[in-house]
Structure 1
């Protein structure tokens, strides 16, 4: 039988700890805002909305609407955007085999700026976002071609 290394044993515990920290962070993020809502009420609202468990009759309908319709979608989109940025950064570092690469060093941000500026000059202000995206894609392709050569 092959003995497991210390790293193999501690990784699941680290992953569990990080997931718990993420859950607590999301709960706190949903609780914070212009309207003061206690974390316990936020937790009860989320559990009631997701699993239909618990009683939220003592919480105002406006508070439930604030948590469920306004804050939760923003926090979830922030989570998705952050995960996407982390995934893209990791993919970029792996692709060019450089642990310190970033969009500014590789010229991807400059490509996006060029694409947006070009469309502004051409008077196509409606498509600035698309121009930035296209400029970043072209710059990325150029970097990948150069890196693979």
Structure 2
């Protein structure tokens, strides 16, 4: 029986080499033409090991260093009470378990969420530069969170901030897509330009909200806008976890449809993919994930741009591989970035958004130079 080959969509003058590369990688993901799985599986296993090591390092490193042996003992004793003889102080236990461990886990969740969102946005828009930060989604989420923190109050409890952040992200996404549709500018480059323009407008409005707020409350919000994980607590982790796990699994189950959309709307429709419904669903899921990430960590840019690109260099363009590996890479990267942010200016915490911005800017330049 002959194999059915998915042909790439007809190229257009505006398509960059990055876009063509994205489509050709997805075309290689059809049945019978997949690369051998063992390198990808090996990468995943090694990545999981590095992630565990990074979490332990993040918990051990800081203004007060804690030996890795004590870290492992404290964690083991919390999970299995009495399993390890207690040789550490109560203060050290509080630092490890109540402050640093939830912070490391929040970094992993936020990094994974932003990376997965970037990966699926790049596929569904056929735009290799798509990213929650560049498309204005993060700015919309930040606007909603600032509105909740400074003006509306927590009228729904702790859920107020992520819900308004999600609403802001959704509105920003709708505005960007509306601008592209009205301007009839369907190219990937124009989509990014529309996202950047909308992002600037939304952040200007957010700055007005900050200017009109109580000066005593604005300092914390301004620091939060730069990206930070210092407010992480155990009871906060349930919210990003409750959003990221179902959304991530749903997006992973849609990997085949995302591969088809990457090849073009006509090809995807021929294969039975409801393109419009899929694209709308992915944007809503991306806004939800971005909203909850921004609500608990502030604006952290470039994770969704960098991680999917690096993963595709290793695993190819099949979203069944790109999505989980991007989650793993994003979690690992943001934990390492948080370690750098805490060590560089110790005992002060540098906003993690500064670290990701520096790395992301260099990566962006490298990406442009590579595709010349």
TM above 0.5, yes or no, is yes
Show CA shifts across 1:57-109 (max 9, x none): 21112211211111111111111111111122122212211112234543446
- Structure 1 residue aligned with 2:105, among 60, 70, 76? 76
Conservation of the 8 A alpha-carbon contact between 1:103 and 1:109: yes
Conservation of the 8 A alpha-carbon contact between 2:60 and 2:68: yes
| Structure 2 counterparts to residues 6-45 of structure 1, below 5 A | 7-45=36-74
- Aligned length, in residue pairs: 139
Report the Cα offset of residue 135 of structure 1: 4.6
Matched, 1:126 2:151: yes
Question: Of the two structures, which has the highest relative contact order with CA contacts closer than 8 Å and spacing of 6 or more?
Answer: 2
What SS does structure 2 have at the residue aligned with 1:55? coil
Cα pair distance change 1:67/1:94, threshold 3 Å? same
Partner of 1:122: none
Partner of 2:84: 55
Aligned counterparts of 1:110 and 1:74: Cα–Cα separation in 2 = 23
Report the Cα offset of residue 142 of structure 1: 4.0
Cα pair distance change 1:35/1:106, threshold 3 Å? closer
Mark the runs of 5 or more structure 1 residues left unpaired by the alignment.
Answer: 120-124
Normalising by structure 2, we get a TM-score of 0.32
Partner of 2:128: 99
Structure index of larger Rg: 1
Aligned counterparts of 1:72 and 1:46: Cα–Cα separation in 2 = 9
Mark the runs of 5 or more structure 2 residues left unpaired by the alignment.
Answer: 1-33, 154-160, 187-275, 277-372
Show CA shifts across 1:99-145 (max 9, x none): 122345434466668x67xx7xxxxx514977775454223124446
Cα pair distance change 1:51/1:94, threshold 3 Å? farther
Conservation of the 8 A alpha-carbon contact between 1:111 and 1:138: yes
RMSD: 3.3
Conservation of the 8 A alpha-carbon contact between 2:117 and 2:131: no
Higher helix share: 1
Cα pair distance change 1:70/1:131, threshold 3 Å? closer
